[in-house]
């Protein structure tokens, strides 16, 4: 076919595909991220407010934890999802600072917006941000103090870090009580790996928050049990504990099973055989000398009564997590057969008891010789309150864990952000060109943390920030927002400490997320997923969105 001088129309994208690109697209993505930032801003700091989120199934959550809020918000904008990801990454890596990292990323994008509107290439902005974050982290490492040598002991350092982590949480009013619980929990773990999954947290509605218990060992809810359970002893001192993965239950015969017998005695032998098998297992367990029998699989009514008659405590259907922590705490190992059980396969603890807590009964293993695990039993008036207490404790526990591994700390309350901001401003004056403006913009973005802390507390943010800039210019490097005095103060002297790792990770993640958004200048939305794998055409150029199915 001869087209003459006309260029033929080539259809590359499927009909209905939405494609938008260019500088306007970057600014649109930035606006979406700023909207997320605006949602989280009021929750920052000790006087930040909580957010009540109602999910589609009408479940309510009250929280001021950045990662939790973003997870529940169900963000659909593809660019804004990067903020959800960095918040989750911060939660997984450090445990705290999830709100800070999202607010910082949003502010860095907000500062980049005027440069884009003026026509500066996004790659120049990214280069400036990369340089600025490298300088900022170098400065944090230089400023961070190693407090392991000057403290009377690790415990005091850990308690101070935990208290700072709790300052913005629901449990701050009960901080004295929970700080001790957090530090005890982390110190009960193995120092080599500090696996926080071995800290069990059980939520029991009812009672006051300060009725929460710390168990140096394992506690789990009484498992489903059959008649005969009431006759079993509920207290032991130095018991022998046997952990099994064996079913101790008579099973109903399969449907349509057919057995041909010649004599009545043969039929009786078949009936007796099943009973004999389970009784042999029970006798073998009894001969081990175990006082407590735990099994991941069910323990039926016959076995329950058998153990009750012999003063043995049993619990079937113990959860895998609880069983794993019991083994870690009391020693021994899980047995998958009742034959050939040796004394070294049994564990022990100083005391076992079953107690009533609220409306539930709990089995407690205390004074464990191998105590590499512990359990926190949390109380509270409402389920939403207990859930928020759990999230708050998780953040504090993670901070204590990081402080134990990394003894370097910096002052919180906006102090370290103001000091880095001053350092980057001074540095920007020593260089020429566009990079000077971009590094200066990065320095300005860091001030969002102290500014937002002031606004959430109801202080005059302009006045406080001016005072902070003046103090830092005079060399007062640890001056930040002092909430008690409603002024500024030396936060290091007031023991508002945070592990340096929290700040380093937050700055790195926020800058990476910002640079990622700045590098995307085209978004392609496929309306249908059918045939998406047929004939993929690789996107051309930098920063394109998704692969394009060819027509």
**What is the set of active-site residues?**
65, 98-99, 395
Structure tokens at 369: 């010789």
Classify residue 336 by burial, with Cβ atoms within 10 Å: 0-12, 13-18, 19+. exposed
Sheet with 497-499, side-by-side order of all strands: 145-146, 408-411, 497-499
- Alpha-carbon distances, residue 243 vs 340, 344, 377 (angstroms): 14, 12, 23
Q: d(Cα 207, Cα 439) in Å, to the nearest integer?
A: 52
For helices 434-446 and 98-117, the axis angle rounded to 10 degrees is: 150
Cα torsion angle, 336, 342, 343, 344, sign: negative
Q: d(Cα 233, Cα 360) in Å, to the nearest integer?
A: 18
User: Which among 86, 82, 111 has a CA at the least distance from the CA of 101?
Assistant: 86
**Could you report how far apart the first and last alpha carbons of the chain are, in Å?**
20
User: Which among 29, 81, 4, 5 has a CA at the least distance from the CA of 522?
Assistant: 29
Q: What is the Rg, in whole angstroms, of the alpha carbon atoms belonging to the chain? A: 31
Structure tokens at 351: 């005391």
β-bridge partners, 522: 21
CA dihedral of 231, 235, 239, 243, whole degrees rounded to 10: 60
DSSP label of 539: P
- Alpha-carbon distances, residue 18 vs 22, 61, 396, 459, 544 (angstroms): 14, 35, 45, 46, 14
Cβ–Cβ < 8 Å for 440, 428: yes
Structure tokens at 348: 């022990």
DSSP string, 445-485: HHTHHHHHHHHHHT--HHHHHHHHHHHHHTT-TTEEEETTT
User: Which among 399, 396, 414 has a CA at the least distance from the CA of 482?
Assistant: 414
Q: d(Cα 5, Cα 53) in Å, to the nearest integer?
A: 60
- Alpha-carbon distances, residue 294 vs 165, 262, 359, 384, 478 (angstroms): 38, 41, 23, 32, 54
User: Which among 502, 491, 220 has a CA at the least distance from the CA of 377?
Assistant: 220
What percent of the residues of the chain are helix, what percent strand, and what percent coil, each to the nearest 5?
Answer: 50, 15, 35
Q: d(Cα 165, Cα 175) in Å, to the nearest integer?
A: 10
DSSP label of 174: G
């Amino acid at each position: 076919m001869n087209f003459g001088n006309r260029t033929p129309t080539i259809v590359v994208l499927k009909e209905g595909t939405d494609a938008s690109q260019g500088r306007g697209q970057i600014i649109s993505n930035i606006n979406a991220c700023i909207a997320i930032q605006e949602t989280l801003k009021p929750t920052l700091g000790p006087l930040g407010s909580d957010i009540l989120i109602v999910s589609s199934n009408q479940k309510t959550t009250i929280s001021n934890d950045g990662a939790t809020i973003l997870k529940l918000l169900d963000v659909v904008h593809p660019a804004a999802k990067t903020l959800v990801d960095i918040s989750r990454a911060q939660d997984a890596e450090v445990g705290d600072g999830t709100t800070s990292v999202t607010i910082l990323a949003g502010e860095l994008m907000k500062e980049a917006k005027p440069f884009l509107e003026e026509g500066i290439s996004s790659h120049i902005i990214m280069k400036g941000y990369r340089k600025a974050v490298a300088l900022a982290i170098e400065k944090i490492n230089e400023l961070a103090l190693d407090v392991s040598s000057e403290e009377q002991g690790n415990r005091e350092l850990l308690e101070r870090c935990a208290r700072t982590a709790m300052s913005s949480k629901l449990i701050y009013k009960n901080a004295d009580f929970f700080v001790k619980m957090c530090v005890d929990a982390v110190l009960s773990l193995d120092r080599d790996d500090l696996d926080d999954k071995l800290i069990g947290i059980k939520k029991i509605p009812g009672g006051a928050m300060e009725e929460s218990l710390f168990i140096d060992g394992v506690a789990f809810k009484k498992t489903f049990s059959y008649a005969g359970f009431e006759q079993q002893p509920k207290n032991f001192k130095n018991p022998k504990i046997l952990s099994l993965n064996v079913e101790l239950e008579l099973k109903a015969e399969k449907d349509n099973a057919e057995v041909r017998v010649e004599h009545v005695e043969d039929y009786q032998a078949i009936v007796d055989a099943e009973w004999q098998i389970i009784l042999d297992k029970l006798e073998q367990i009894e001969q081990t000398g175990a006082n407590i029998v735990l099994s991941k699989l069910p323990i039926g009514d016959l076995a329950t009564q058998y153990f009750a008659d012999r003063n043995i405590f049993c619990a079937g259907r113990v959860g895998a997590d609880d069983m794993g922590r019991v083994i870690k705490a009391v020693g021994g190992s899980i047995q998958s057969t009742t034959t050939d059980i040796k004394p070294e396969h049994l564990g022990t603890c100083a005391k076992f008891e079953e107690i009533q807590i609220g409306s539930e009964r709990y089995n407690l293993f205390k004074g464990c010789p191998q105590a590499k695990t512990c359990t926190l039993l949390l109380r509270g008036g409402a389920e939403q309150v207990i859930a928020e207490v759990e999230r708050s404790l998780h953040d504090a526990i993670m901070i204590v864990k990081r402080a134990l591994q990394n003894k370097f700390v910096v002052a919180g309350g906006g102090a370290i952000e103001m000091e880095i901001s001053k350092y980057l401003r001074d540095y920007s004056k020593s260089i020429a060109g566009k990079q000077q403006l971009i590094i200066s913009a990065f320095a300005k973005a860091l001030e969002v943390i102290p500014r937002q802390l002031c606004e959430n507390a109801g202080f005059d943010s302009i006045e406080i920030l001016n005072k902070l800039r003046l103090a830092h210019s005079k060399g007062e490097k640890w001056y930040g927002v002092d909430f008690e005095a409603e002024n500024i103060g030396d936060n290091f002297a007031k023991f508002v400490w945070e592990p340096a790792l929290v700040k380093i990770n937050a700055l790195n993640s926020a800058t990476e997320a910002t640079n990622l958004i700045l590098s995307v200048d085209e978004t392609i939305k496929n309306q249908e997923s059918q045939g998406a794998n047929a004939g993929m055409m690789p996107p051309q150029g930098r920063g394109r969105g998704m692969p394009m199915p060819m027509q």
